[in-house]
Amino acid sequence: MVRLLADENFHGDAIDSLLARRPELDLVRVQDVGLASMEDPAVLAWAAANDRILLTHDKATIPGHAYDRVRSGEPMPGVFVAHGMTVGDIIDEVLLIDEASEQAYWTDQVIFLPLR
Q: pLDDT by residue (tens digit) across 13-62?
A: 999 999 999 999 999 999 999 999 999 999 999 999 999 999 999 999 99
- Which secondary structure element, helix H or strand E, spans residue 6, and what is its range? strand 3-6
The torsion region of residue 38 among left (phi > 0), alpha (psi -120 to 50) and beta comes to beta
Tell me the pTM.
Answer: 0.96
What span, in angstroms and rounded, lies between the C-alpha atoms of 51 and 91?
A: 21
Cβ-based burial of 92 (10 A; exposed 0-12, middle 13-18, buried ≥19): middle
What span, in angstroms and rounded, lies between the C-alpha atoms of 33 and 14?
A: 19
In this structure, which topology does domain 3-113 adopt according to CATH? Rossmann fold (3.40.50)
